[in-house]
Copies of this chain bind each other. A is one copy, B any other.
Amino acid sequence: MPAYATNMRMKFPIVALTLEIITIILFGVFVVYDDGKSHGHKPHSNETHHDENPMDLYPMFQDVHVMIFIGFGFLMTFLKRYGFSSVGINLLLAAFGLQWGLLTQGIWHLDDGKIKVSIFKIINADFSTATVLISFGAVLGKTSPVQLLIMTILEITIFSINEHLVATVLEANDVGASMIIHAYGAYFGLAVARVLYRPGLRNGHENDGSVYHSDLFAMIGTVFLWMFWPSFNSAIADPGFTQLTAVINTYLSLAACVLSAYAISSLVEHKGKLDMVHIQNATLAGGVAVGTCADMNIGPFGAMLIGLVAGIISTLGFKYLTPILASNLGIQDTCGVHNLHGMPGILGGLAGIVAVALGKKEGGNAAMQAAALASSLGFALVGGAITGLIMKLPFWGQPPDQNCFDDSIYWEVPEEEEENEESLAHGDHSKNKAEV
């Protein structure tokens, strides 16, 4: 079946190397080190005594870096046979995405015709990859590495346009990126998932689930995301007390969110038990939802209220909405990104509109906040649909249904243990059947 020629031997190396070489050439033409001689954008306010040390944001950058590579990567290892792809393809997409993001974000802020790389810029480059990793969660297990590289290019390019519109044209506030990263990444991914709908997976797939230890690996991702989220939401805030505000709001929102996620998980589950899917994901919704407001004067009370609500709607979403999306709308959202990033991202955008309307942010404009949310959703849905159509072209090596959620189609997987597990679990050894 040529449509399912999943052998990557030529396709993937050619695509990956070509992209990288083009990128390096573009870097040769456009990119230089920031020498501190001018400040194209987001000048830091003068209220701080940090005058000019170019490394001040470096610890914040490293926290964000850990979220991108460990956090997102391990969060997706919950699937029993898809851990290599989760953490490995996460690394691939983020490593390419940060280069591409530096270019597409930098192009709006040229300085003497050059993109001047600073810690601030590489934080934003890491941020841009987060959109792709969120969308990756929606299509996890059902796409080839080549498809995902294509998604990376398109999603980051469109992200950079929307971000420019939101931040520079609309001058909306979104310091923790509830709208431009979380809502955008989620609805982009859901649009892609809709286009790539697989009727053959309607009744589930034996590998679309976790085993005991894969759930523990996923908790590594969850906990690192949870801990460093205050850095995510405050990294590009104005230094000093504004940044402190963003840290404290996020810290408190996440703490409140944990309690509501656990409570609702127990309330809706069989015999009051906790569900690992909820714990791995919904405990983070408070970080997403407080993002837009993080640097606003919403008070600890406001931040915790947002977190409490986010934990509730995220857990309820996993329990009740995800199955409906799959069965009624044809949106198969592997990781439930709609519950972790989609709805909490919209909640964050709405909270931002309200907070700005209430005067919690100097110079804010509620209409522009609303426009920013609409723009992010619009670019996500249209961009995701178009991207999905391109990804649907039949020569990118996508896996056939029966090989979904299985590392062994794109990875060498250690034979021995696998045989044991497979034969124990299923009685036969049917993997790899689509390989040519």
Are A99 and B211 CB-contacts (below 8 A) given A31-B301, A33-B244, A227-B65? no
**For residue A36, which residues in chain B have a CB less than 8 angstroms away from its CB?**
241
Q: Is A220 an interface residue (CB 8 A)?
A: yes
Are A210 and B414 CB-contacts (below 8 A) given A7-B272, A88-B279? yes
- B411 contacts A420, C-beta separation under 8 Å: no
In the bound complex, how far is the Cα of B212 from the Cα of A420, in angstroms? 11
Q: Which residue of B lies closest to A216 (CB)?
A: B83
Are A8 and B266 CB-contacts (below 8 A) given A52-B49, A62-B59? yes
Q: Is A354 an interface residue (CB 8 A)?
A: no
In the bound complex, how far is the Cα of B145 from the Cα of A13, in angstroms? 42
- B425 contacts A20, C-beta separation under 8 Å: no
Taking the closest CB of chain B, its distance from the CB of A245, in whole angstroms, is 6
Residue in B87, B95, B231, B255 whose beta carbon sits within 8 Å of that of A99 in the complex: B255
- B54 contacts A263, C-beta separation under 8 Å: no
Residue of A70, A240, A266, A276 with most partner-chain B CB within 10 A? A266
Prevailing SS type, chain A contact patch: helix
Binds B, one of A166-174, A246-254, A322-330, A336-344: A246-254
Q: Which residue of B lies closest to A258 (CB)?
A: B95
Q: How many copies does the complex hold?
A: 3
Q: Is A92 an interface residue (CB 8 A)?
A: yes
**For residue A70, which residues in chain B have a CB less than 8 angstroms away from its CB?**
220, 223-224, 227
Q: Is A362 an interface residue (CB 8 A)?
A: no
Q: Mask for A243-277, Cβ within 8 A of B = 1, else 0?
A: 11101100110111011101110110111111110
In the bound complex, how far is the Cα of B435 from the Cα of A424, in angstroms? 28
- B417 contacts A80, C-beta separation under 8 Å: yes
Taking the closest CB of chain B, its distance from the CB of A397, in whole angstroms, is 9
- A91 contacts B33, C-beta separation under 8 Å: no
Q: Is A4 an interface residue (CB 8 A)?
A: no
- A9 contacts B212, C-beta separation under 8 Å: no
Residue in B31, B254, B273, B276 whose beta carbon sits within 8 Å of that of A300 in the complex: B31
Q: Which residue of B lies closest to A11 (CB)?
A: B272
- B412 contacts A420, C-beta separation under 8 Å: no
In the bound complex, how far is the Cα of B74 from the Cα of A216, in angstroms? 9
- B412 contacts A270, C-beta separation under 8 Å: yes
- A259 contacts B220, C-beta separation under 8 Å: no
Q: Is A165 an interface residue (CB 8 A)?
A: no
**For residue A1, which residues in chain B have a CB less than 8 angstroms away from its CB?**
none
Q: Is A416 an interface residue (CB 8 A)?
A: yes
- A412 contacts B269, C-beta separation under 8 Å: yes
Residue in B49, B297, B425 whose beta carbon sits within 8 Å of that of A416 in the complex: B425
In the bound complex, how far is the Cα of B308 from the Cα of A50, in angstroms? 36
**For residue A414, which residues in chain B have a CB less than 8 angstroms away from its CB?**
80, 209-212, 215
- A53 contacts B54, C-beta separation under 8 Å: no
Residue in B69, B215, B231 whose beta carbon sits within 8 Å of that of A62 in the complex: B231
Across the A-B interface, give the 5 residue pairs with the lowest CB-CB distance, nearest first.
A9-B272, A95-B258, A28-B301, A8-B272, A20-B259
Contacts A24-B304, A80-B416, A420-B421 aside, 19 further interface pairs with beta carbons under 8 A come to: A7-B272, A13-B267, A16-B262, A17-B260, A20-B259, A24-B305, A27-B252, A27-B300, A36-B241, A70-B224, A74-B220, A92-B258, A92-B259, A95-B259, A96-B255, A96-B259, A209-B416, A276-B412, A416-B425
**29 sampled A-B residue pairs with Cβ under 8 A:** A7-B271, A9-B267, A9-B272, A11-B272, A13-B263, A13-B267, A16-B260, A17-B259, A28-B300, A32-B300, A33-B297, A33-B299, A35-B241, A53-B239, A62-B231, A74-B220, A83-B213, A83-B215, A83-B216, A84-B216, A91-B279, A95-B258, A96-B258, A122-B247, A122-B248, A145-B262, A216-B217, A275-B412, A416-B425
